[in-house]
């Protein structure tokens, strides 16, 4: 039987105990590349969710009362454990999520980075004293932990996108229960829970439940205990989570990091070689299964033909296949449902009249890079999030038209602008309706101390640094009248 750090992969951390779920259902955790079974997992029931939340609520006050330096030390130890167990975690990310070896290593580094950043949070929970208009009164505003946080994480960066919420929430004195995506229950749920438990977080303060969305999904959100649900995933599911959090029971906060449709804009004065190289990397990293992946390339007509030639050449050099091979860049699509979605987008692009500039092979769940040109704003490739190794190139008449095209979709998570005039590009960036815009750099960017979050239908709330402190705590006004 396979284990991680002494814990059987079939188990979940519920109310301080590693055990299997009590549902009558079970699920096979499958390697998306070769269909081998990683684990057979007895799933959690609604009763397990209740037990995990109630235990977390009971344990949280003592954890929040722990000295800031002690909580910080535990966060630092968790980051060390991520590094110490890197090879084991990387192998599990490859097996469970179809990550390539380079992407899996990047993910471990990102998770360790946000955990180290979170270690500084206990000493950064600053309150304030405000003057009062009432004589003899003092107004104190305290910043305190929310209580219990429910974390729902996705399958594309399962380790990092769990820990990005878990580490700050714990560091700030909250208890946490994780519900990972059904495709990645080990790397998204078991590993984060075990890492923090082993680092010193009391067992009931951190937990994870693995269950079918149809059985425990609504209960996980509407349960009376959690004060915040931190969700990362698709926009339609995020809308549902938000509705349940407001209308499904006791009202609670939500933090929603949702879909994207990232434009990479190539202006007329861009370094075309760099733009073409970066567009290829940003389009096909992790098979394009990243909310920040380049979803559209918008190119000024003045350099369109040159860009297309160089971009297609760069895409041809990207290798696809077995993700455990260190030279492979594009691995398998996560599951059959997503595979069919990507295939349908390829068919739809052809039907809508896009030009096939590069058509890669499809072998099992591995889809080699596909490039379409002459993409127009009414096509699916321009409107929707792709989440696969497909990219459409659009021609802009001029800069104003490029900005207009970039702002077309309902999403606004990440964007990129390529130009040799940095100051002008910065002004263009302010016209892009996106939470994050990078100049002469990939749309795929995440730094633990810098704000992360989107606009429009790409979500609500912010992660990382001071923004995470605000997200995972409450302000409390304590008014004191002395006379």
Q: What is the pLDDT of residue 483?
A: 80
The residue extents of the domains of the chain are 3-258+458-481, 262-447
Structure tokens at 478: 């304590």
Q: Pick from 163, 189, 50, 153: which is nearest to 109 by CA?
A: 163
Bridge-based pairing of strands 355-359 and 370-373 is: antiparallel
DSSP codes joined into one string, 198-261? HHT--GGGEEEE---IIIIIHHHHH-SS-SEEEEES-HHHHHHHHHHHHHSSS--EEEEE----
What is the tens place of the pLDDT at every residue in 220-239?
Answer: 999 999 999 999 999 999 99
Structure tokens at 333: 């699509």
pLDDT at 1 over 70: no
Active site residue 351: no
262-447 CATH: 3.40.309.10
8 Å CB contact between 288 and 254:
no
What is the tens place of the pLDDT at every residue in 32-60?
Answer: 999 999 999 999 999 999 999 999 999 99
Q: Reduce the DSSP state of residue 60 to 3 states and report it.
A: helix
3-258+458-481 CATH: 3.40.605.10
8 Å CB contact between 55 and 208:
no
What is the tens place of the pLDDT at every residue in 138-168?
Answer: 999 999 999 999 999 999 999 999 999 999 9
- Kindly state the average pLDDT of the residues 170-178: 98
The C-alpha R_g of the chain, in whole angstroms, comes to 23
Catalytic residue among 51, 257, 385, 399: 257
Residue partners of 430: CB distance under 8 A and separation at least 6: none
Q: What pTM does this model have?
A: 0.96
What is the tens place of the pLDDT at every residue in 321-351?
Answer: 999 999 999 999 999 999 999 999 999 999 9
Residue whose pair of structure tokens reads 């969700």 in the numeric block: 231
């Amino acid at each position: 039987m396979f284990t991680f750090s002494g814990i059987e992969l079939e188990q979940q951390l519920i109310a301080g105990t590693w055990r299997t779920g009590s549902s009558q259902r079970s699920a096979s955790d499958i390697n998306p590349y070769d269909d081998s079974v990683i684990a057979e997992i007895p799933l959690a029931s609604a009763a397990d969710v209740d037990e995990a939340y109630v235990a977390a609520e009971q344990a949280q006050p003592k954890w929040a009362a722990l000295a800031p330096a002690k909580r910080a030390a535990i966060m630092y130890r968790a980051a060390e454990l991520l590094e110490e167990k890197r090879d084991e975690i990387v192998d599990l990310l490859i097996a469970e999520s179809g990550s390539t070896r380079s992407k899996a290593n990047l993910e471990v580094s990102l998770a360790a980075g946000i955990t180290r950043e979170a270690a500084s949070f206990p000493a950064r929970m600053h309150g304030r004293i405000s003057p009062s208009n009432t004589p003899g009164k003092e107004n104190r505003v305290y910043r305190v932990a929310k209580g219990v946080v429910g974390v729902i994480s996705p399958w594309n960066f399962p380790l990092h996108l769990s820990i990005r919420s878990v580490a700050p929430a714990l560091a700030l004195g909250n208890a946490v229960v994780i519900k990972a995506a059904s495709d990645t229950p080990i790397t998204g749920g078991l590993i984060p829970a075990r890492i923090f438990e082993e680092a010193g977080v009391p067992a009931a303060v951190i937990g994870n439940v693995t269950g079918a969305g149809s059985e425990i999904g609504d209960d996980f959100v509407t349960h009376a205990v959690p004060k915040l649900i931190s969700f990362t995933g698709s926009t339609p599911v995020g809308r549902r989570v938000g509705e349940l959090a407001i209308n499904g029971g006791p009202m609670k906060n939500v933090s929603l990091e949702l879909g994207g449709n990232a434009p990479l804009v190539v202006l007329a004065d861009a370094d075309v070689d760099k733009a073409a190289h970066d567009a290829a990397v940003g389009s096909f990293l992790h098979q394009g299964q990243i909310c920040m992946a380049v979803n559209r390339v918008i190119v000024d007509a003045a350099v369109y033909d040159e860009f297309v030639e160089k971009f297609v050449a760069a895409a041809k050099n990207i290798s696809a296949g077995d993700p455990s091979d260190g030279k492979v860049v594009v691995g398998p699509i996560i599951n059959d449902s997503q595979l069919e979605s990507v295939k349908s987008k390829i068919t739809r692009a052809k039907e809508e009249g896009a030009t096939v500039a590069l058509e890669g092979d499809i072998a099992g769940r591995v889809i080699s890079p596909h490039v379409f040109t002459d993409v127009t704003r009414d096509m699916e490739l321009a409107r929707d999030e792709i989440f696969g190794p497909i990219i459409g190139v659009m021609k802009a008449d001029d800069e104003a038209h490029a900005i207009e095209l970039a702002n077309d979709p309902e999403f606004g998570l990440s964007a990129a602008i390529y130009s040799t005039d940095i100051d002008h590009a910065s002004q263009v960036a302010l016209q892009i309706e996106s939470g994050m815009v990078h100049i002469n750099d990939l749309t795929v960017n995440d730094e633990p101390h810098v704000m992360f979050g989107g606009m429009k239908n790409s979500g609500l709330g912010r992660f990382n640094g001071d923004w995470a402190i605000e997200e995972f705590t409450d302000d409390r006004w304590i008014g004191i009248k002395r006379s």
